[in-house]
A and B are shown apart, each in its own frame.
Chain A
Amino acid sequence: MDIIGFISKNYMTIINKTLEHISLTGISVLLACVIGVPIGFSIVNHKKIANIVINIANVIQTIPSLALFAFCMPYFGIGRNPAIFALFLYALLPIIKNTLIGIRNVNPAIIEAARGMGMSKTQIMLKVEVPMSISVIMAGIRIATVTCIGIATIATLIGAGGLGDLIYQGIGMLNYPMILTGAIASASLALLADFILGICEKQLTSKGIVRQEKA
């Protein structure tokens, strides 16, 4: 099992696959943020709708990943698009859920003070709710990213590329160094993403707020 040998011979492929993997998860998580955070904000005051949304997202989360990828194929064909859509769906739940929790945890007295001082709804959202819940929202994004990096290794099965290519090809060829390289690369990617997002979370959170551990 000569991993070093394998890596040194195939480093261009490995880098390409890693970049593919990053773009797969990156695009899905980004989409999930752009859509999930506003959804979280818009449903926070409607308990019923919020529950329905959370339930739907929970159901999606329970679908085995392979099945979800398969479900997406009839609509998106094969390749990157169905994979990105499926990963996006996976990322949505933790992001919406944490956005909801984050905003709900904002002390109502502070919102009342904000209203009493004459802040509009938008001002309250941008100047109070977002900064006060950003660490919880960021924690959701972190969970989503790490989950997606793991699940994205299956995307190879619908032809989306990524580090899964190495793992599944390796399995087929009984090439253990290849399998290990794919697995280690994806695990390191997850750790690295978590680390970097952790730094972002810290930077974005005001020093006035004691950071809550993951909600």
Chain B
Amino acid sequence: MIILKKICKSYNGKTNVVDNLDLHIQKGEFVVLVGESGCGKTTTLKMINRLIEPTSGQIYINGEDIKSKNKNELRRNIGYVIQNVGLFPHNTIKENIATVPKLCNKKDEEILSKIKYLMDIIELPYEEYAYRYPRELSGGQQQRVGVARALANEPDVILMDEPFSALDPITREQLQDELLRLQEEFGKTIVFVTHDIDEAIKLGDKIAVICDGKIIQYDTPEEILKNPINEFVESFVGKDRLWKTPDMLKAQDIMSNKVVKVYGSRSVAQTIEIMKKHDTTVLAVVEKRARSTEKLLGIVGSNRFYGIENHETKMKDIMKTDVVKIPFDMPLTEVLNIRKEKKLRHSPVVDKEENLLGIITNTSILNVLSQIVPESEEY
């Protein structure tokens, strides 16, 4: 849909503010460019609607090089929302929303019904707000109109440059939620710039972390949180970030992979040795599979050995088989609920083929917790 190819931008001919940047954005994707102030986000964004021309490189939208298009026509088909709202103060809300369709000479009735529809969606009823002026609206309402104005000409692409950063936190949350709803409904391709990593994580299908005009990591929010590519991304994202978005924590993030295993064919005597060696009383019973994976068969605890005379008895005959196997991608909250409900202490985590990946115990959860709690704070 949108392709930026080896884009460079230099204002003084020496340093590149945007440096050899490649970015592929799929149709319908919500991509957030995030980075510290001055890293080149706005410059990158404005090159997409040619408010700024790149020093070198190409940008394609739907396969067409945007340089081959008329600037104004290009811009009329790309929604643009900026931080300072940019509504025309001398025009009413209605006139503001109608700006681009009017530039394109659309029919009056068509424009009117579009305005009514959009004002309904942004929850500023036409009857009440159509003839008001921007200064008679709150900051949040103004920015809603800004979004409606960007949608009015039905563009496929919308560019947003820190649209919510001047708003108070509560209004910002609301508008973020509304934007997500709109995105669900219209399926627009959105390129969104912010310096706020929380906002990026909340909104983006994908996040491009930018530093000094380069994309450091371009990934889903989940990947960026869990597998930051380097220290820069890690510190930018913040260590404790994962806990602020517990939905993203999955079983595999809170399990311990140091799980002590025993093959099902082992005897009681052998198993007791293993338990002694690892100073534990519970083992996972597995069966070897191809490519160094091991299928989980069950769990065995030392309490199972009571009354067993024959020390040659195999584990697979005495193990507990009705264990709750936790899928690796089960959300944290669900895992905790199941453990509480079924009073589980050892919950093995498995992949789709029931291969053993790790084990969740109270200790493993505590371990993860202690890693993530901010280091700077002392208790």
What is A's interface to B at a CB cutoff of 8 Å? 107, 109-110, 112-120, 123, 127-128, 131-132, 206-210
Chain A residues closer than 8 Å to B74, beta-carbon distance: 118
Contact yes or no, B90 A206, CB < 8 A: yes
Contact yes or no, B84 A109, CB < 8 A: yes
Chain A residues closer than 8 Å to B89, beta-carbon distance: 110, 132, 206, 208-209
B window 50-95: CB within 8 A of A: 51, 71-76, 80, 82-92
Query: What separation, in Å, do the CA atoms of A113 and B88 have in the docked complex?
Result: 9
Contact yes or no, B75 A117, CB < 8 A: yes
Contact yes or no, A118 B84, CB < 8 A: no
Q: With A117-B80, A119-B103 as known contacts, state yes or no: A112 contacts B72, CB within 8 Å.
A: no
B window 110-142: CB within 8 A of A: 133-136
Contact yes or no, A117 B99, CB < 8 A: yes
Q: With A110-B86, A118-B73, A128-B88 as known contacts, state yes or no: A206 contacts B100, CB within 8 Å.
A: no
Chain A residues closer than 8 Å to B91, beta-carbon distance: 206, 208
Q: With A118-B75, A128-B88 as known contacts, state yes or no: A112 contacts B100, CB within 8 Å.
A: no
CB distance from B214 to the nearest CB of A (A): 25
Contact yes or no, A206 B76, CB < 8 A: no
Query: What separation, in Å, do the CA atoms of A110 and B135 have in the docked complex?
Result: 14
Contact yes or no, A116 B49, CB < 8 A: yes
Contact yes or no, B84 A107, CB < 8 A: yes
Contact yes or no, A118 B72, CB < 8 A: yes
Chain A residues closer than 8 Å to B134, beta-carbon distance: 208
Contact yes or no, B133 A119, CB < 8 A: no
Q: Which residue of A lies closest to B77 (CB)?
A: A118
Chain A residues closer than 8 Å to B75, beta-carbon distance: 115-118
CB distance from A1 to the nearest CB of B (A): 52
Most chain A CB neighbours (cut-off 10 Å) among B82, B86, B91: B86
CB distance from A128 to the nearest CB of B (A): 6
B window 17-48: CB within 8 A of A: none
Contact of B86 among A112, A131, A208 (CB under 8 A): A112
Query: What separation, in Å, do the CA atoms of A110 and B92 have in the docked complex?
Result: 15
Name 6 extra pairs, CB < 8 A, besides A115-B51, A118-B100.
Answer: A116-B51, A117-B103, A127-B88, A128-B88, A132-B88, A208-B91
Query: What separation, in Å, do the CA atoms of A120 and B89 have in the docked complex?
Result: 19
Contact yes or no, A206 B133, CB < 8 A: yes
Chain A residues closer than 8 Å to B76, beta-carbon distance: 117-118
**Chain B interface, DSSP helix/strand/loop, else mixed:** mixed
Q: With A119-B72, A119-B103 as known contacts, state yes or no: A113 contacts B92, CB within 8 Å.
A: no
Chain B residues closer than 8 Å to A206, beta-carbon distance: 89-91, 133
Query: What separation, in Å, do the CA atoms of A104 and B72 have in the docked complex?
Result: 23
Chain B residues closer than 8 Å to A208, beta-carbon distance: 88-92, 133-136
Query: What separation, in Å, do the CA atoms of A174 and B352 have in the docked complex?
Result: 114
Produce 1/0 per residue, B142-168, CB < 8 A to A.
Answer: 000000010000000001000000000
Query: What separation, in Å, do the CA atoms of A15 and B97 have in the docked complex?
Result: 52
CB distance from B141 to the nearest CB of A (A): 14
Q: Which residue of B lies closest to A116 (CB)?
A: B80
Query: What separation, in Å, do the CA atoms of A148 and B191 have in the docked complex?
Result: 55
Q: With A116-B51, A116-B80 as known contacts, state yes or no: A132 contacts B86, CB within 8 Å.
A: no
Query: What separation, in Å, do the CA atoms of A127 and B135 have in the docked complex?
Result: 18
CB distance from A201 to the nearest CB of B (A): 14
CB distance from A113 to the nearest CB of B (A): 3
CB distance from A88 to the nearest CB of B (A): 30
CB distance from B138 to the nearest CB of A (A): 15
Q: Which residue of B lies closest to A120 (CB)?
A: B72
Q: Which residue of B lies closest to A119 (CB)?
A: B103
Chain A residues closer than 8 Å to B88, beta-carbon distance: 110, 114, 127-128, 132, 208
Q: With A117-B75, A210-B135 as known contacts, state yes or no: A123 contacts B82, CB within 8 Å.
A: no
Chain B residues closer than 8 Å to A120, beta-carbon distance: 72
Contact yes or no, A113 B133, CB < 8 A: no
Contact yes or no, A209 B90, CB < 8 A: yes
Query: What separation, in Å, do the CA atoms of A209 and B92 have in the docked complex?
Result: 11
Query: What separation, in Å, do the CA atoms of A126 and B178 have in the docked complex?
Result: 34
Chain B residues closer than 8 Å to A117, beta-carbon distance: 75-76, 80, 99-100, 103, 149
Contact yes or no, A132 B51, CB < 8 A: no
Contact yes or no, B82 A207, CB < 8 A: no
CB distance from B219 to the nearest CB of A (A): 28
Query: What separation, in Å, do the CA atoms of A114 and B87 have in the docked complex?
Result: 9
Q: With A206-B89, A208-B92 as known contacts, state yes or no: A116 contacts B82, CB within 8 Å.
A: yes
8 residue pairs, one from A and one from B, having the closest CB atoms: A113-B86, A208-B133, A118-B75, A206-B90, A118-B76, A116-B80, A109-B84, A118-B72
Most chain A CB neighbours (cut-off 10 Å) among B49, B51, B88, B149: B88
Q: Which residue of A lies closest to B152 (CB)?
A: A117
CB distance from A160 to the nearest CB of B (A): 40
